[in-house]
A and B are shown apart, each in its own frame.
Chain A
């Protein structure tokens, strides 16, 4: 099992550009989510999905879109990049959306917006 795979590992964008961060898991997990990590602020939830075809907003959804057409994939789209979106992005999945199911994380995408 590869677990949770994120691509790319690093990305530099100019303000206003768009891009998609890829996330795939091979564990048949029901629940997938995107977090951003900023120094001193822990992890903040951007969007999440409790199953294919179902997505919802987290704490900081503005400027991001998601879709979940398959169980395995959960891409995160930046519509028009802004310097405030410079961050490390983590995709995480868990077996179910039930609260006692721990998260499995990818290794992150480090995004810089200039």
Chain B
């Protein structure tokens, strides 16, 4: 069965510092990978996705992620954190073989300190 592991349920960084949120997946078939962001009392919004092609994917708000097949990872990064980045972030995986059902990680709450 597919699964997604997000290392670290809480990450705290200072404003201007590098943001690194980790995501690993288990899969025996090629995955589609997504990062979503959830602000308080809202639904999830798509940050970026990897489907095929270039392994470095750029998303909204300056975030990017790199698909590393050999490490089964899809870590999310941003060079310089902003206060507005404080939110919960979810990594998700889907496959063509399972009718598009997404499996989500448990989420990582990002805190940005002034």
Q: Is the CB of B104 within 8 A of A43?
A: yes
Query: Is B100 a contact of A97 with CB atoms below 8 Å?
Result: yes
A74 to B103, CA, bound (A): 20
Assess whether B107 is in contact with A42, with CB atoms less than 8 Å apart: yes
> Inside 8 A of A43's CB, which chain B residues have their CB?
44, 90, 102, 104
Q: Is A53 interfacial (CB-CB < 8 Å)? A: no
- Residue interface bits A66-108, CB-to-B below 8 A is 1, else 0: 0000000000000000000000001010101111111111111
Known: A43-B44, A56-B99, A107-B43. 14 other contacts (CB 8 A): A4-B43, A33-B102, A41-B106, A42-B106, A43-B90, A44-B104, A48-B99, A50-B99, A94-B100, A96-B100, A99-B100, A100-B94, A102-B46, A103-B102
Chain B contributes a number of interface residues (CB within 8 A of A) equal to: 31
Q: Is B82 an interface residue (CB 8 A)?
A: no
**B47, closest chain A residue (CB):** A102
**Bound Cα distance from A105 to B90, whole angstroms:** 13
Task: Report yes or no: A98 in contact with B96, Cβ–Cβ below 8 A.
Answer: yes
A102 and B49 contacting across the interface, CB-CB below 8 Å = yes
From the candidates B45, B99, B103, B107, name the one contacting A97 in the complex (CB within 8 A). B99
